[in-house]
Amino acid sequence: MTLTDAWLAYMEVLRDRAPVTAAAVRPPRTRSDRETAERATNPWPEELREFFALHDGQPFRSDDNQFVGEALPGVELLSLDHVVSTHRLCREQLHPVDYLGPDWPITVRAQHAGETAEMFLPTYIPFAEDGAGDFLYVDTRSGRHHGCIRYFAAEAADEGGFLFVSLADYVDSVRWSIESGSEHSYLMPTVTDGVLAWDVDFSDQPIPHPQPSPIPLHLPFPLKDFQPSLVNSDDDLIDLDAVRKSVLDTAQSLHPGSHVQGGETIFRQVPRQRGVTVNSYVQIDGVPRFYLTIVTGVENDVIVHEMPPGGFELIVDD
């Protein structure tokens, strides 16, 4: 199947299933415009010339800012002007991932299409982008995978091999995905009022269990925050060994017969001020639990509560 065959077959499906999105595909520019774009980037393979002889991109939104869909899964099909501007921007920035030593440029020049250069190369011709710095491109370097389709990520450059051996295979895979209602690029096609959209498929994800509601906890006084960095040994400090014993005693009383250990607070110094709170970490038969520990301000007395799954709703009694 040639690229033109694959594209025309896909457009027929798109017009039938998602006419709004199909209508948003712009007609191709003149041969002169296409040749100008090629000269501004890098020599194109014949299939890429054929590709832009069939269209001039498809924007996600219309002139009045209405969403008109995505002809390609999760990416916007670029116009000639956008191909040139994206290519120019990437040539200026290169997106190098790591410094790979002084011999790396020589290594890159010896590579073939489909191999990882860890940066943008002028021989990469973008044709679709996701709007967040990532894009699909044709790798025009020589070799058996000349003209393959690859993905360029803003954070990882060109890591990874090729996705499709040609534009024809890529376009045909998109058509098949829509016709069969199957996933493409981890996205599922859906059509609403003639508009094609691609969304993450969560159908195989486990159904989340509802989170428990917080339990009301009545307190005799309001709680207060403190800044650990401002506390020093000259302050009136509570004895944390005594606090740990209170926490462990509370945990043991709530879980009789269990093996209880830990009980340390997350802070090394805690002021003896009423309402100051700290969390303590306890292992109950090896299972971690947190305990809310509230300083009363009287000697080393603390109020200790085991944290429920949904936390507490704190209520201060007048």
Which pLDDT does position 208 carry in this prediction? 65
DSSP letters for 237-295: B--HHHHHHHHHHHHHHHSTTS-EEEEEES-S--B--TTBEEEEEEEETTEEEEEEEEE
Every domain of the chain and the residues it spans: 3-200, 215-316
CA distance 225 to 204: 43
Which pLDDT does position 100 carry in this prediction? 65
DSSP letters for 73-98: TTBEEPPHHHHHHHHHHHHHH----S
Which pLDDT does position 212 carry in this prediction? 83
Give CA 219 to chain center in angstroms. Answer: 42
With beta carbons less than 8 A apart as the criterion, state whether 119 and 91 touch.
no
Which pLDDT does position 10 carry in this prediction? 97
CA distance 15 to 28: 17
| Domain 3-200 in CATH 3.40.605.10 | no
pLDDT tens-digit profile, the chain (318 residues): 799 999 999 999 999 999 999 999 999 999 999 999 999 999 999 999 999 999 999 999 998 999 999 999 999 999 999 999 999 999 888 666 566 666 767 777 788 898 988 888 999 999 999 988 899 999 999 999 999 999 998 777 888 888 999 999 999 999 999 999 999 988 999 999 999 999 987 666 566 667 788 899 999 999 987 777 678 778 899 999 999 999 999 999 999 999 999 888 867 788 999 999 888 889 899 888 888 999 999 999 999 999 888 888 889 886
- Kindly give the interhelix angle for 31-40 and 80-93, rounded to the nearest 10 degrees: 0
Torsion sign, CA atoms 282, 284, 290, 291: negative
